[in-house]
Amino acid sequence: MPTYKAPIEDVKFLLNDVFHMERYGNMPGFADTSPDLVAAILEEAAKFAEEVLQPLNRSGDQEGCTRHPDGSVTTPQGFRQAYRQMIEGGWVGISVPTEYGGQGLPATMTMIVNEMLASANMAFAMYPGLTQGAIAALLHHATEEQKKTYLPKMTTGEWTGTMNLTEPHCGTDLGLLRAKAVPQADGSYRITGTKIFISAGEHDMSENIIHLVLARIEGAPEGVKGISLFIVPKFMVEADGSAGARNSLLCGSIEHKMGIHGNSTCVMNYDGATGWLLGEANKGLHAMFTMMNEARLAVGMQGLSQSEVAYQNAANYARERLQGRSISGVKAPDKPADPIIVHPDIRRVLMSIKSFNEAARALILWTALKGDVQHRSEDGNARQAAEDHVGLMTPVIKGVITDKGFDNTVMAQQVFGGHGYIGEHGMEQFVRDARIAMIYEGANGIQALDLVGRKLGRDGGRAITAFFKEVSEFVKQNSEEAMKPYVAPLGEALAQLQQATMWFMQNAPKKPDNAGAGSSDYMHLFGLVALAYMWAQMAKTAQEKLKQGANGAEERMKAKLVTGRFFMERVLPETAAHLKRITTGADTMMALPAEAF
């Protein structure tokens, strides 16, 4: 049976030593977030993830959700009880402002907790995760009355939330949506239409479900400029705040997915359901993007979560499984064979995943901290720089970390040999669950196009220029001998990323297909450089801690340095292949007529 152990020490290393969370103490929510409080939160979240959620992961996958004839949905056995414990622990609203019943802690803390929950049980973690995204949209776009009506019970988790975008005939192209909204005399709207792929659309864990639904008001312009966002509760809300009469919406069916079976992904039918405008009319996509961007970062974290739990189980198996003898000589003479962890190819797999996971976690937390600066800092320049960073990194985190997260679950599965595709070992579930993260919240090809087509040139390239400057300065300032194994490869990879960026500037305007043809390679090239930058910072910190005595963490710091060197030597060189592919352009890719495929 699979196991999971939350990476508490790694998170503490990043927050306390690499990113120095105490430096953010002048911002709301950070002043009271001492290392001791952070450690206590991590310990409690780890306990909940390891002891409550992880044991439900396989059984939830096997049982799935059940839709009943009346449209109601039952979640897998144990989910309701676990969700009740989550509410009692206050985990849903730890970063929501205190005025709505939250704890007001940095959003970074929510991201950390959610990685643990998703590693333990990705399908379960999506229920509170979607609620948190809906809360973010309400905080930014709702009226005060709407906030008072919905946020307190969503913050506690008594009510959950969803996002309703996609329809049967349109995926990412939301300009094609047909759901309509008819204005009523009392200021409400009647919402009619069908939405698909609605995660947590119907279930039995909360008293009410608050749907955020994209629809077009009658007479609104065609395309994305005529889309509005509406609050459509499952149950109408009474004057005293309680759930009242059932609204005119129903789960038509549950999607039969390859993974995350414990999450009820629904077809939702709206038949003149009562809804209220969220934000401005015809500006719904702007409001929904608040939720989508939060979701994209969260999905990137899901890619890491499955890579992490798959790695842990593969490493455990490799230490225990006896097979063959080491090519460099017997390592376990008292046993009939050596454990497979002695074999170089097994080490290649484990080191590849380990070096990715630790850097990916750093990249996600670095960006989460920037997100807190964006929303909490009183310094306008700092907020702008942070917003630039988050916008630039969102498609990279979503696209690269879910792509590689899936690849890593497959590699981890390979460590088990034939046992890897046997259900009881859990590896095939990690593969199935991780694969979905590459698709939803915008398939990864869309993330790559967003990065190349929108983010690079935005505001005259301000965000990418700032990133180039920061990494370049780090390389120059850390040229001492001990850091050369880290900064020299980083500098070379950065130069290749800059070369690829310049190639797009010179070749995409006259032939836009060149940008599309190279976008995925560019996204992964960018991701490798960002991950390498994380490793360079971690290596510098580990070296400093070793000089200071490391306070009992010597072995962990030495392991950091070795793992970072592995990334620089064996993973980062892939940047050269990405650059080569980018600069071939689109000619051969686009040459064949459609009939030739």
Q: What pLDDT was estimated at residue 270? A: 97
List the domain boundaries for the chain.
8-141, 159-281, 443-592
The counts of H helices and E strands in the chain are: 17, 11
Enter the tokens of residue 428.
Answer: 């095939």
Q: What is the pLDDT of residues 25-41, one digit of tens each?
A: 999 999 888 899 999 99
pTM of the model: 0.96
- Burial class (CB within 10 angstroms; exposed 0-12, middle 13-18, buried 19+) of 593: exposed
DSSP state of 238: P
In one-letter notation, the amino acid at residue 425 is H
Q: Using only the alpha carbons of the chain, give its radius of gyration.
A: 24
Distance CA 55, CA 49 (A): 9
Per-residue pLDDT reduced to its tens digit, 263-285: 999 999 999 999 999 999 999 88
Q: What is the pLDDT of residue 285?
A: 82
pLDDT score, position 292: 76
Quick check: 482 pLDDT over 80? yes
| Helix (H), strand (E) at residue 350 | helix 344-376
| pLDDT attached to residue 549 | 87
When pLDDT is averaged across residues 427-440 and rounded to a whole number, the result is: 96
233 DSSP β-pair partners: 210
List for the chain the helix, strand, coil content (%; round to 5). Answer: 60, 10, 25
Question: What angle is formed at CA 372 by the lines to CA 155 and CA 563, rounded to 5 degrees?
Answer: 110
* Long-range contacts (CB closer than 8 Å, 24 or more residues apart) made by 82-85: 82/52, 82/53, 82/56, 82/124, 83/124, 83/127, 83/157, 83/205, 83/206, 85/48, 85/52
Determine the Cα–Cα distance for residues 304 and 433; give it in Å rounded to an integer.
Answer: 12
What does the pLDDT read at residue 294? 81
The arithmetic mean of pLDDT across residues 119-127, rounded, is: 98
pLDDT at 171 over 80: no
How far is Cα 289 from Cα 105, in angstroms, rounded to an integer? Answer: 23
Contact 525, 496 (CB under 8 A): yes
Decide if 487 contacts 535 (C-beta within 8 A).
no
What backbone phi and psi angles, to 5 degrees, belong to 196? -120, 165
The pair of structure tokens assigned to 249 is 């919406």
Please answer whether residues 173 and 165 qualify as being in contact, where contact means their C-beta atoms are separated by less than 8 angstroms. Answer: no
pLDDT at 229: 96
Kindly name the residue from 202, 294, 428, 441 that is annotated as catalytic.
441
Give the pLDDT score at 438: 96
Instruction: List pLDDT tens digits, range 184-234.
Output: 999 999 999 999 999 999 999 999 999 999 999 999 988 888 999 999 999
* CA of residue 504 relative to chain centroid, distance: 28
Instruction: Report the largest interatomic distance among the alpha carbons of the chain, rounded to a whole angstrom.
Output: 84
Alpha helices in 247-330 (DSSP H): 284-320
Domain 159-281 belongs in CATH node 2.30.40.10:
no
Q: If DSSP states are collapsed to H, E and C, what string results for 566-591?
A: HHHHHHCCHHHHHHHHHCCCCHHHHH
Q: Please tell me the CATH superfamily of domain 8-141, with its number.
A: Acyl-CoA dehydrogenase/oxidase, N-terminal domain (1.10.540.10)
441 is a catalytic site residue: yes
Predicted pLDDT at 107: 95
- Could you tell me what percent of the chain has a pLDDT over 70? 99
What's the pLDDT at 175? 66
Mean pLDDT to the nearest integer, 11-15: 97
- Cβ-in-10-Å burial (0-12, 13-18, 19+) of 534 comes to buried
pLDDT attached to residue 460: 94
Average pLDDT score over the chain: 95
Question: CA neighbours within 13 Å on the CB side: how many for 593?
Answer: 2
What is the mean predicted confidence (pLDDT) over 121-146?
Answer: 96
